[in-house]
Amino acid sequence: MDIALVSPNSIKIKGKVASFLVEPRDMKGKAQADAVITFDSSPIDISSIEGARVVLSGAGDYEIGGVKLIGLKNNEAALYYINMDNIVIMVGKASSLQNKEVVRDADVAVVFSDAAVDSSLLATINPRTVIFYGPQAQENSKLLGKEVTTATKYSITKDKLPAELEAILFS
């Protein structure tokens, strides 16, 4: 599975059987994805995204191309748990991580840093890897007290998940 930065505010998650673009509002050019994930219900133009069958913008249980997703609503924004390639990925805004009711265990937490992240709530997700991107990504990555790796792409398989918490800064 690959997670890649495609614009300052958008990422692509690509597994063996499906791919997802998260918040591709400021993306330039064409892209391919099976579905688009947004954090809110404001309209999005997907005409430049080839293969996109659906736009996910809220709470619910979904299955796209054999990949199971759970969308949870918090603070007027959704966050998602994606079970892809036997890895559970939490994708959400830092501002949505304010309530323990939406927090579940995940192997990888991908956080759009639109606000300061609550590091204690992030810790309850119990991720092996945390990826920060967005306007406050650098500040949030420092809150973990770990050495941070800067990248634009992260590739992982279930058997290669780190034993200890790893922090990645997409920039």
What is the CATH superfamily name and number for domain 2-170?
A: Ribonuclease Z/Hydroxyacylglutathione hydrolase-like (3.60.15.10)
**Residues in contact with 42: Cβ distance below 8 Å, sequence separation at least 6, in sequence order:** none
pLDDT, tens digit, 9 for 90 and up, residues 156-170: 999 999 999 999 999
pLDDT, tens digit, 9 for 90 and up, residues 98-145: 778 778 999 999 999 999 998 888 889 999 999 999 999 999 999 888
SS (H, E, C) the chain: CEEEEEECCEEEEECCCCEEEECHHHCCCCEECCEEECCCCCCCCCCCEECCCEEECCCEEEEECCEEEEEEEECCEEEEEEEECCEEEEEEEHHHCCCHHHCCCCCEEEEECCCCCCHHHHHHHCCCEEEEECCCHHHHHHCCCCCEEEECEEECCHHHCCCCCEEEEEC
Mean pLDDT on 80-107: 92
How much is the pLDDT for 164?
92
φ and ψ of 119, to 5 deg: -65, -30
Identify which has the larger pLDDT, 99 or 25: 25
- 38 pLDDT band, cuts 50/70/90, is very high
Distance CA 103, CA 117 (A): 13
Ordered by start, the domain boundaries in the chain are 2-170
How much is the pLDDT for 118?
87
- 19 pLDDT band, cuts 50/70/90, is very high
